[in-house]
Structure 1
Amino acid sequence: MGLEVARGTSAGLLDAPAPQSVYKNAILDQYVIRYSTMTASRLTPRRAVLFDGFAGGGRYSDGKAGSSEQMMLAAQKARPHTQIDIFVVEQSKALFDRLNGVADEYRRRGIAIESRHGDCGSRLGEVLGWAQGASLFLFLDPCGAVLPYDQLAPLLRQRGAWPRTELLMNFSADLIRRAGGQYKKGQLDLGGVASADNVCGGDWWRDVALQAHLQTRDGSWETAAQAVALEYARRLTRGTKFGYVIAPVRRRQHHQPIYYLIFLTTDVHGLWVFGASAAKAREAWIRALGPEEDAVDGMLFDVVEEQIRAEHDRNIRQISLNLTKLVADGTDKPVVNHTLDVFDQVYGEAKETAFSAALRGLVSSGHIEFVQKGSKPHQHIIRAGKVS
């Protein structure tokens, strides 16, 4: 299973929670505690490990939680019923010292946190050993190139399908655009091409990027970066039970992506929950961005809230079309097994409430009926109704 998410957000920063870092942190806030408690509930002991490989300072200068502290907060909230242990790595000594200070606060509250100064890739074996018998969530959000393909691919194969493993990483669109331009000009000595080869696990990306670039009308490299990200995710998961989705991450909605978030999971329910979390995070990002600079001053309505409402209405209409198509063959459909079909191009943008509204309308009109009505949206089983 694989999907490119149609819309995205913006990249994260280490020093301040600017709007471009809100999306990433909001996903972690929404998702990691749900992932940890769900996947650990079937384990003895109930234990999950969260890994932040490029952890930064843990907390922004204004006191707001960064990615690693979001994990620590999740561990604190879940502590009465689920053991969530944290493993963090940071390359910068100054940032690591700040990170360790934040970690000490949570250690005093009883949270198990392993912190390491140095290279993320050199710690993967230690993380796998520490997470043995536990579910594992890996978050890789470097400022530049992500870990080499040759380090990540074996990790996925070593972990297997159970206990659960999920990976959320950024794949640099900036790197692919820069390296693609260098490759086209024959500038193989400038470093970008070699760096992309390392990240991608070979030079296959070169022709993928160049062909996508040559097919554009404006000569841009945006579609090239997208094509490489999709092929990278496909190759990374090939021969495994992992599925993937990718989402473009932008500074503003009309900008080219800075990177693509790639999410890997072996669980269909994980796809559903992550998509719902990403949708809520995207809404937080839109609010953090505020209106565009050219928005009219003194308008009688809130531009941002109007945008959110309009998107919600569009998402309901799109999901209605998707659901109608899904049940057209007349067979019973457990919706959680068809997450990407249900949401399709609005995955990661449409909230569960949009799905529920779309389904409610189709049931009311007789176009869809329940085979089994679950207590939660993802638990419904549906089929085509009497109205064709």
Structure 2
Amino acid sequence: MSALPLSRMRSITWTVLAWSGAVLYPGFLFVTVSNGHGGFEGLEVLISAALTVLVAGLLLRRPVAAHAILALAWTAALMEMPNGAVAGLYLLLTDLGAGYIAATRRRRVSVPVAVLTGFLQVAAVASFMFPSGVFFLTVVLAMLVTWMAGDALRVRWAHAEAMRAQATARAVADERLRIARELHDMVAHSIGIIAIQAGVGGRVIDTQPAEARNALDAIEATSRETLTGLRRMLTALRKDDPAPLGSTPGLDGLDRLAEATRDAGVTVVIRTEGERRPLPPDVDLSAYRIVQEAVTNVVRHAGADECRVTIGYRDGELDVEVADDGRGGVVGTGYGLVGMRERVALLRGEFAAGPRPEGGFRVAARIPLAGR
């Protein structure tokens, strides 16, 4: 049987000491105030203070029980020594105990505790003196203010905890969406290319073996590239640190994208406007993924032989446009357009997609660069 951890042993020791002090506390306090020397002198004061600290420590774990012990012990002490000093300590300690319960427990617990404590305070003080109405009002207000302060702290802590929980849930949701977008953009394009190449190879395998072999080579290259990307992504997800999901492609990879798309039967014409310059990594990745997804849609849905990709480097923004002369595509279905729109929205940009008046389909994004 393994030994208890040091932290566990410390916790057990502290609990035993605290409850031992709680059991001894009422009796020792009563003896202290009735020792015949006016009370609170010499060693009795030190021991009483130490036991008070131990009992107060129980407030951290058993606040209601610790508060009841404090209240009963000091009520008995006040009955034995009815003077102003004992009454002041009694009111102070019980008010603080009720305030702590208000800060750490719900109102259905703290309100009855505060009411009973206040009633006990008034009854205990009234038993040995005849205070004025102002004094009684002061005692009640002190308890009310202490309870309200504790309850306000509880509400503030609860609100802060709720905000932290919401922030955590939002971060998890954002990360899930990010992973979903990366998986979709990485896999959808490759699977689309593979499906088309497989269809081409199946149709010409008997009549054009060389063409079928080219299709198989393209399928192998595309599948290997996709498998490598998935492995990088899974490796990044297994790490403890929030590392990027594998490699981060950018607009420099558009030529390779165009080559793979050309093997699938669609020619991609790339045009650059403005002076080409380095982009922030998130903008570079998003621009590439937008082009990749738009080109994939052209391959899968447009029925066009060509599409045009325009990258515009403007002052303070990047323009991305993918247009074709095909059947016009399908708006509002699947995750491709949703993912593109989300990427642009995260970068505070503008996104538009829809059929062109002259025929075909157009995807356009405007991503701001200023202030990034």
TM-score, reference length from structure 2: 0.23
Whose Rg is larger? Answer: 2
Greater relative CO, 1 or 2 (CA 8 Å, sep 6+): 1
TM-score, reference length from structure 1: 0.22
- Which structure has more helix as a fraction of its residues? 2
- Which structure has more strand as a fraction of its residues? 1
